[in-house]
Amino acid sequence: MSSLLLRSVRAATRSATRLNTRRAVAVAVRSPRLVLPHNFSTSSSSKAALASDSPGQPTIVLQTPSAEYLKEEELDIDLIPPEQVKLVITDRAAEQLRSIATRENNPNAALRIAVESGGCHGYQYKMDLAKSRSPHDYQFTHPTIQPANILIDAVSLGLVNGSTIDFATELIGSSFRIDHNPQAKGSGCGCGVSWELKD
Q: What is the pLDDT of residue 191?
A: 56
pLDDT above 90 covers a percentage of the chain that reads: 44
Asked whether 103 and 109 are in contact (CB, 8 A), the reply is no
- Sort strands 110-117 and 149-153 into parallel, antiparallel or unpaired: parallel
For the segment 45-70, the average pLDDT, to the nearest whole number, is: 72
pLDDT of residue 86: 92
Greater confidence, 173 or 107? Answer: 107
Return the beta strands (E) in the chain as ranges. 33-35, 56-58, 60-63, 88-90, 110-117, 123-130, 137-141, 149-153, 164-170, 173-179, 184-185, 194-197
- The whole-angstrom separation of Cα 8 and Cα 174 is 33
Mean per-residue pLDDT for 81-95?
94
pLDDT of residue 161: 95
Which of 57, 77, 56 is CA-nearest to residue 67? 77
By the 10 Å C-beta count (0-12 exposed, 13-18 middle, 19+ buried), 167 is classed as buried
**Integer Cα distance of 25 and 115 in angstroms:** 27
pLDDT of residue 47 exceeding 90:
no
Q: State phi, psi for 68 to the nearest 5 degrees.
A: -65, -45
Please report which confidence band the pLDDT of residue 193 belongs to, taking 50, 70 and 90 as the band edges.
low
pLDDT at residue 128 greater than cutoff 80: yes
Task: Kindly state the percentage of the chain with pLDDT values over 70.
Answer: 70
Does the pTM of the predicted model rise above 0.85?
no
Say if residue 123's pLDDT is above 60: yes
> What's the one-letter identity of residue 57?
Q
